[in-house]
Amino acid sequence: MFKTEDELLAFFESGGCMLDFANRDVFIADVGGEDEHFYGIMMAGPIPHEHTMTVSDAVEYALGHFPAPGTGASNRMSLMEAPGWWFSLLANSVIKNPKRFMTD
């Protein structure tokens, strides 16, 4: 899947999304604006089992049930800065346990 943190970062910078089967968390690239600026990675979960068969279904569920990070709502998605310490933890997990994660 991914062999380095930089490869994973490039995946998210290009708009990629990922599902963690073990925790049922979904990671969604926050890319937008006219210049397609990369803001970080939105994280939501746990996603109900019935919505974890595909990354697309998990993303759709998260976007429909968890407010965006900037809303200030108590049940909002988290925003992971990338690169950063939290992203490094994610990258380490992805590299060491590739079968635990699914990408779109």
Sorting pLDDT into bands at 50, 70 and 90, what band is 93? very high
Task: Of 5, 69, 79, 9, give the one whose Cα is nearest residue 40.
Answer: 79
The whole model's pTM is what? Answer: 0.93
What integer pLDDT is reported at residue 34 of this predicted model? 74
**Sign of the CA dihedral 52, 54, 57, 60?**
positive
Length of the chain: 104
The answer to whether 75 and 66 have CB atoms below 8 angstroms apart is yes
User: What is the identity of the amino acid at 55?
Assistant: V
Parent domain of 96:
5-103
What integer pLDDT is reported at residue 20 of this predicted model? 98
Sorting pLDDT into bands at 50, 70 and 90, what band is 53? very high
Neighbouring-strand partners of residue 45: none
The answer to whether 98 and 2 have CB atoms below 8 angstroms apart is yes
The predicted-structure confidence for 60-74, as pLDDT tens digits, reads as follows 999 999 988 888 888
- In the chain, the number of structural domains is 1
pLDDT for 87 beyond 80: yes
